[in-house]
Amino acid sequence: MLTAAAAAATGVAASRAAGGTAYAAPGGPRRDVRERLRALIARMSLEEKVGQLFVMRVYGHSATAPDAADVEANRKEIGVSNAAELIAKYHVGGIIYFSWTHNTRDPRQIAELSNGIQRAGAAQRVPVPLLIATDQEHGIVARIGAPATLFPGAMALAAGGSREDVETVGRISGAELYAMGIRQDYAPTADVNVNPANPVIGVRSFGADPKAVARFVAAEVKGYQAAGVAATAKHFPGHGDTDTDSHIGIPYIHHSAEEWERLDAPPFKAAIAAGIDSIMTAHIVVPAFDKSEDPATLSRPILTGILRERLGYDGVVVTDSLGMEGVRKKYGDDRVPVLALRAGVDQLLNPPDLEAAYKGVLTAVGNGELSEREIDEKLLRILALKERRGLFAGPYTSRRAVDRTVGTKRHLRTADKIADRTTTLLVNEGGLLPLSRRSTRRVLVVGADPAAPSGTGGPPTGVLARTLGELGFTATALSTGTAPTQAQTDAAVAALAEHDAVVVATYNVTAGSSQRGLVRALLDTGKPVVQLAIRNPYDIAQLDGVKAALASYSWTDVELRAAARVIAGRREPKGRLPVPVMRADAPGTELFPIGHGLTY
């Protein structure tokens, strides 16, 4: 393999060893590099140029020989059999990996898939390496699971309060992605989560304090890009204050220009100052900036007027997935890519109908709606990013790089140490925690078992019970789900009769949630009840009478194990709330402010 593959094993050195010196932020590549890239563009046909603007999903674990079911899915959705055919037909500039498209079985397989994709890119008439990307935010969004190293997510890291930890997460995660052939990560989330009802951001955000979020975003950008991986701040201009999920609807952000400047802008400004390679758009409507009520992804006043001109950003702008309803409600799938490009976008991510999207852009160039010169400028930004991340010097990786880098004992130990600084103790009346192995040795673990992110060791109740068992307790797991029935609640109460204490894992408890009834029934037994919020930390506001409450900010193994160590007294609770928790009966009043967190 090329020398960049060996450099991947060291992570931090990878970007320098693979051509990283070509970068001159924020003005773009050096003149000699720019001229070389312009000469490459001049060799391309219009069809090849347009294809380079697309980043597409593709089913299968292999670039040339996916499983039969994946071949069928590719033919149905894209009109090709595999990744190699996709590249040959549409000349796409990037591929996005998902677990649900069966791209991410294990690190060695991922690396070979990446190499196969790059071989297909090299076989084109005008050879161009592909930018392979994924969403590896950690926490509740992780496309690549164990044995890769999984870290706490953004809000948990913010609870830990250490910018050094956040940068370390970016550096280690980036090194592992690089070793698997992935050079772009759609992280960090730069949204400021000021709305507790936000259904799509929540714990993916570093919190509700714009200045703190900005500091953590900058740290993670530095970590990823030091490892040779392009970071991507999302979702511009800010998705934190909405109660609508843009996957299924069109969110509105009703901030004034002044509110946006104070609440939403700081993390994106910090990312730009840190030299971020790419920024992802949001499918949100911001009437203060665009009276047309087009989503930001399609809004020239937002993407060109604010992001490009006011903030001075000249890096790559990538759309959020074009298959999301937030961008499809108003226009057809052939028009959305054209409007996005006109607005200021460079990369078009995952259109639902690639044929329609591709032809739509070609038609727009043909009729003068888009100029070929505009396409060239967008392509230059994309190629400059590929150059900066070493793809022209060395697009391939190796099994040796994977084995030396991904999921090493050192990385896994670091993940656990970082997680130990994140668990937040919200309530501890009467010193109920830590649990005593003398008086509360037999522990029942009940509660929510949502679908686990990739690479977890099982349902949350099982992970908690297993870890408590390893720490000297006799622990039993009993799943009651995110919406426990009366029968499940009765079964939990009956099981508690044979135990000394109960840990109940809660998941986004609302006023109408049957989880409230479960917790109340457990409290009524008189046995010690420990409540652990395994997603958003707001649950305690809905749970009167709880005397011991914690937040782990996710239900992935690394965070659950850390919470179990706190419950067992093996670690001190060190986390501090990155968001306020408001009273349920008085939403304008804080129950717990930002920074709240108890210790033993």
The set of catalytic residues is: 247, 320
CA 196 to mean position of chain CA atoms = 19
User: Among candidates 56, 43, 10, which has minimal Cα distance to 357?
Assistant: 56
DSSP labels, 110-134:
HHHHHHHHHHHHHTSSS----EEEE
φ/ψ of 103, rounded to 5, equals -90, -15
What Rg, from alpha-carbon coordinates, does the chain have?
A: 24
Contacts 24+ apart (CB under 8 A), 28-36: 28/314, 28/381, 28/384, 29/384, 29/387, 29/388, 33/384, 33/387, 34/380, 34/384
Distance CA 503, CA 298 (A): 47
Distance CA 323, CA 34 (A): 33
Distance CA 391, CA 563 (A): 40
Q: Is 581 in a helix, a strand, or coil? A: strand
Interhelix angle 409-419/163-179, rounded to 10 degrees, is 150
Please answer whether residues 569 and 434 qualify as being in contact, where contact means their C-beta atoms are separated by less than 8 angstroms.
Answer: yes
Q: Is 542 in a helix, a strand, or coil? A: helix
φ/ψ of 285, rounded to 5, equals -95, 130
Distance CA 279, CA 539 (A): 32
Q: Is 225 in a helix, a strand, or coil? A: helix
Q: Is 171 in a helix, a strand, or coil? A: helix
CB-side neighbour CA atoms (13 Å) of 592:
22
Structure tokens at 264: 């939403």
Please answer whether residues 505 and 465 qualify as being in contact, where contact means their C-beta atoms are separated by less than 8 angstroms.
Answer: no
Please answer whether residues 477 and 461 qualify as being in contact, where contact means their C-beta atoms are separated by less than 8 angstroms.
Answer: yes
Helices (H), 420-568: 460-470, 486-496, 515-524, 557-567
User: Among candidates 179, 164, 170, which has minimal Cα distance to 151?
Assistant: 170
Please answer whether residues 307 and 272 qualify as being in contact, where contact means their C-beta atoms are separated by less than 8 angstroms.
Answer: no
Structure tokens at 366: 């043909």
Q: How many CB atoms lie within 10 A of CB 3?
A: 12
Q: Is 299 in a helix, a strand, or coil? A: coil
Q: 310 exposed, middle or buried (CB, 10 Å; 0-12, 13-18, 19+)? A: exposed
CA angle 447, 451, 457 (to 5 degrees): 85
Structure tokens at 101: 């498209």
DSSP 102: T
Q: Is 478 in a helix, a strand, or coil? A: strand
Residues with Cβ within 8 Å of 525's Cβ and at least 6 positions away in sequence, in order, are: 493, 496, 497
